[in-house]
Structure 1
Amino acid sequence: MSKGEDKGIGNGTRNSKGYRRPRALSPLREHLRDTFWFAPTAAMVLVFLLWTGAYELDAALVRLLQDHESFDDVDDLIRIVNDVKPVVNTVSSAMMTFIGVVFSISLVAVQMAGGQFTPRVVRIFVRSRITKLTLAVFLSTFTLSLLVLTSFESDTDPRLVTGVPFLQSVLTLLMVALSLFLFIAYVNSTLRLMRVGYVVERITAEALRVVDKMPRGDLDSLDLDPEIARVGHSGRAGVLRDVNIARLVRAARRHDVVLRLIPRIGDFVVPGTPLLAVHGPLDAKPPSRGALRCTVSVGVERTFHQDLGFGLRQLSDIALRALSPAVNDPTTAVQCLDRIVQLLSALADRPLGAVGHPDGRGQVRLVQDVPDWADLVDLGFAEIRLCAIGNPQATRRIMAGLDDLLDLTPASRREPLLRHRELLAQAVALAVPEAAERTFALEPDRQGIG
């Protein structure tokens, strides 16, 4: 099995049975988004290629003018680039200092946001496209300015020069202008990270994308063959981040078996932990370890890629910190409860507990365990409910959220909601002796205390 390689997986289009067919290739993009080095490195390689092209064009332009004996035009180009040279020199000397100051301030802001909300919001900064784009353009501008400075020639005779960095200088000025616009956008994005509303909205949006990628097929009619083998984890210990569904489906189809993922995404696994159960005829041959290589990604923390409960976990963490006596910010908790209700309503009519991933013929080849409805409701309300006692703004919002979900969910899924409603009423009755205060604390209000 995997030794911790960051190999991603993905789901593709749904077939007629409602299952979502896995993509042929694992989306490495999801894991590259969790890194901070790829975008700047790729941008600097790209800007080097652009400079090489501009260098050749500049040389070709000078040769063309010299061949036509347009030496006055060459002389004009030399004067123009000599006027631009101080600007390019200033950019090369100031850009790195500018980058250091800007990102030092930004990291302090992110640290403050992590301390105020939850440390897991730092990943929002790491995955931010505008943050990576800004750093990439800043470093590319600095790299380009150094390359352009090497293109200036000391010889000013229009008959002898081999190249005038005219296009290179124009490209540098355009990069400087782009850097200024991106700096404004980056500052705006960083300031938004300090606002709880923006943070919880980003978390909810990513969680809803995970919900949208879930297969919608019903596995009630799936009859698994007996378990014939198990495959244990042989890599490093860590959090199960995701599995390569496409590769597992291909391996199962090749051996005409069904694979069942034993732990859930987000579980902590150690070497030897059973990962996959193989179901099939007794004479079937289980997939070899070579066929299952690089099908599991283990890391140091959970990610959104396939983790259905990670969004609720983050929202719950922010609400718990807001309700703590040290922070005492129930309005933030209410904002988190708004999004928890939104997520649970999106899951109200979806098959949960286990999802199936089919092969190209529509036959389920991989069964993956996911949290069921009761697990998700507990994750969204249990801890917050315990910390909300004595805070009517939070208890009123919980009651309103539970009532809304009771109206949206089918009858078979109402029991966990009714249980939390009853537990909240009992806890408030024990903590608040006055009848009027109890009535006020348990009155449903979507704004808490509007």
Structure 2
Amino acid sequence: MGDWKTTAGSSPGRRPRALSPLREHLRDTFWFAPTAALVLVFVVWAGASAADEAILTALRDSGDKDAVRALHGIADDARTVVTTVSAAMMTFIGVVFSISLVAVQMAAGQLSPRVVPIFVRSRITKATFAVFLATFVLSLLVLASYDSEPDPTLVSSTPLIQSVLTSLMVGLSVVLFVMYVNSMLRLMRVGHVVDLITAESLRVVAELPPDGSADEADGLGPETARLAHHGSAGVLRDVNIARLVRTARRHGVVLRLIPGVGDFVVPGTPVFAVHGGPLTKGVAALHSHVSVSAERTFYQDLGFGLRQLSDIALRALSSSVNDPTTAVQAVDRILRFLAVVARRPLGAALHRDRKGAVRLVRPVPGWPELVDLALTEIRWAAVHSPQVTRRLLAGIDDLLRVVPADRREPLVRHRSLLVQAVERAVPEAADRAFALHPDRQGIG
């Protein structure tokens, strides 16, 4: 119980930055890290090539032909290594992709298709692929830098530093490959995946403003205008909070986001309501601060983590999988999330300008909605699994000791419905009593 009270979700929200959505969008892509690595490797290669030319020129000017021959001999030996590296790196890249695809396929099939973004956002996967690709391209550039002149006193290029850099990149690739395999093995474990989902969900909680509720959002004054969505249909992925606050402050109004992050919007759907005055300029800019995508993401979406955890539990409880222990692991993290948000203001996020005036109101799920999302479907599916019903009852009892009095009703309702469902579904009195006995391990 004490662990629930000291979590990351209890820290006050940080002030959003204008580039935060861009950073999160790049985290959800796989192309950015390899592309940045390729650009960087060209820059590094150009610098190393210039250094090699400077070293060779200095040796020539000194008139030391023996040093030039020795340098050429060392570089010629390194050429063999670079040639081997160039041939082997593509094989390494193929291995990385094969392991990644197998891990993603297993996770999507056994857990939920919505856990795939966890693999896409994996930093070690992106770093490994980027370094492998950079090492391969660097080895090709180094091989192209070698001079075929047979007389070592006349060579115009001796890529010694470039060869050393390639060797260092190979060493880094080996280290990253070991870390990558370890990371993939961890991602194939259910406990690690649900922990990652929980950590991402708690990060969303931690970034919420420390104050704000649906009641406070009601006192915004009369609504003066509504702005509709004009882009493509899709899921409201996120909004650029910093720029929306700046725009509202500049025009002296309050903006209220009508759909919640994670809602599906179509052209014509009202997106913003304007309070406190007219908004004559900057309408086009407001639309550019709204991001619509094909699927939900963790960023700003308070309920997405619960949706993933619930899906994992439901898949585990299905007749085709029948893995109640995995469902209990998901329920453990669901209860942790609910314990973190139990005392936080919910229903609306109030974003203020530097002077403390509310400029943007963003809807977030309230406590009853979060409890329903977390427990309803699992409660229906768990009726014939005593391990899960016992864990749910123990978890709800623990939450009832943590939450304020005004937030107990949804938990009491779900507990009563669970008890009623088990009593109807299980005919034997002894089995009913066993299934309705609270146990924090399910069947410990």
TM-score range, shorter chain: over 0.9
**2:298 corresponds to 1:304:** yes
Corresponding position of 2:7: none
- Counterpart of 1:396 (choices 390, 393, 404) is 390
Distance 1:218 1:268, change over 3 A: closer
1:403-434 deviations in whole A, cap 9, x for unaligned?
A: 11111100000000000000001001111122
Question: TM-score if structure 2 supplies the norm length?
Answer: 0.94
Distance 2:81 2:19 in 1: 46
- Counterpart of 2:55 (choices 56, 61, 67) is 61
What is the letter of the counterpart of residue 104 of structure 1?
A: S
**2:164 corresponds to 1:177:** no
**2:253 corresponds to 1:261:** no
Distance 1:328 1:273 in 2: 41
Further displaced range: 221-230 or 122-131: 221-230
Corresponding position of 1:242: 238
What is the letter of the counterpart of residue 170 of structure 1?
A: V
Distance 2:387 2:284 in 1: 56
Contact between 2:96 and 2:129, CA under 8 Å: does it hold in 1? Answer: no
Q: CA deviation at 1:266?
A: 0.3
Distance 1:77 1:237 in 2: 63
Distance 2:13 2:434 in 1: 46
Question: TM-score if structure 1 supplies the norm length?
Answer: 0.93
Structure 1 residues 52-131: aligned runs within 5 Å: 52-131=46-125
Distance 1:120 1:442, change over 3 A: same
Distance 1:293 1:191 in 2: 42
Distance 1:73 1:368 in 2: 70
What is the letter of the counterpart of residue 100 of structure 1?
A: G
Q: CA deviation at 1:21?
A: 3.5
Q: CA deviation at 1:289?
A: 2.0
Gaps of 5+ in 2: 1-11
Corresponding position of 2:45: 51
What is the letter of the counterpart of residue 167 of structure 1?
A: I
Q: CA deviation at 1:97?
A: 2.9
What is the letter of the counterpart of residue 232 of structure 1?
A: A
- Counterpart of 2:410 (choices 399, 412, 416) is 416
Corresponding position of 1:213: 207
Contact between 1:21 and 1:360, CA under 8 Å: does it hold in 2? Answer: no
1:131-159 deviations in whole A, cap 9, x for unaligned?
A: 00000001001000000001111224343
Corresponding position of 2:226: 230
1:146-176 deviations in whole A, cap 9, x for unaligned?
A: 0000111122434322221111111111111
- Counterpart of 2:181 (choices 171, 179, 187) is 187
1:380-421 deviations in whole A, cap 9, x for unaligned?
A: 110000000011000000001101111110000000000000
1:321-347 deviations in whole A, cap 9, x for unaligned?
A: 000111000000000000001100110
Contact between 2:21 and 2:240, CA under 8 Å: does it hold in 1? Answer: no
Contact between 2:338 and 2:371, CA under 8 Å: does it hold in 1? Answer: yes
Contact between 2:316 and 2:327, CA under 8 Å: does it hold in 1? Answer: yes
Number of equivalent positions = 433
What is the letter of the counterpart of residue 266 of structure 1?
A: G
Distance 1:404 1:384 in 2: 18
